[in-house]
Amino acid sequence: MLCSIKHCTLKKIIMGKFVISKSRLNNQYYFNLKASNGESILSSEGYTTNQSCKVGIESVRSNSPYDSRYDKKIASNGNYYFTLLATNGQVIGKSEMYSSSQGRDSGIASVKVNAPSASIEDNS
C-alpha cells in the first residue's frame, strides 16, 4: 500500500550528540554537546574521570529543559553567551560566543531540544 502525503508523514530525525574527549595536556575529560549540524552548542569543564564526565552529561540532560537553569551573559568584548547551571548553582556547561542576543537565545533553544535525548560518542 502506498502512503499519500495527506495520510502519513516521513520524518528524518537527526538529534544532537555529546562527544567525550580526553585532553593530552591535563589528562582530563570534557564533553561537547553538538547539534545535528555538528556545531558545538555547549562545552563542559574538565573532569578527572570518564565516569564523572558522564555524570555531568546526565546533569545537562536533566537541567536543560528549565529556563531558570540558563544564565544569559555578555562577555567583556560585547559578545553574548550563556551558562547552564545545575540545581545547586554550579556551572555544568558554557556556550560558544554569539554576536547577538538572538543568537544566544537560539543556542539555548538548541540545547533544550538536543540535550535530553542526545546520544553519547566517547572518543576518549
Confidence category of residue 12, pLDDT binned at 50, 70, 90: very low
Mean pLDDT of 74-82: 97
Confidence category of residue 6, pLDDT binned at 50, 70, 90: very low
Give me the pLDDT at residue 106, please: 95
pTM of the predicted structure, to 2 decimals: 0.84
pLDDT digits 0-9 by tens, 79-121: 999 999 999 999 999 999 999 999 999 999 999 999 999 999 9
Which residue carries 540532560 as its cell? 61
Domain ranges of the chain: 17-122
Report the mean per-residue pLDDT for the chain.
90
Q: Residue 77 pLDDT more than 80?
A: yes
**How does DSSP assign the chain, residue by residue?**
----TTT---------EEEEEE-TTT--EEEEEE-TTS-EEEE---BSSHHHHHHHHHHHHHHTT-GGGEEEEE-TTS-EEEEEE-TTS-EEEE---BSSHHHHHHHHHHHHHHGGG-EEEE--
Give me the pLDDT at residue 110, please: 95
Which CATH number does 17-122 carry? 2.30.29.80
Confidence category of residue 14, pLDDT binned at 50, 70, 90: low
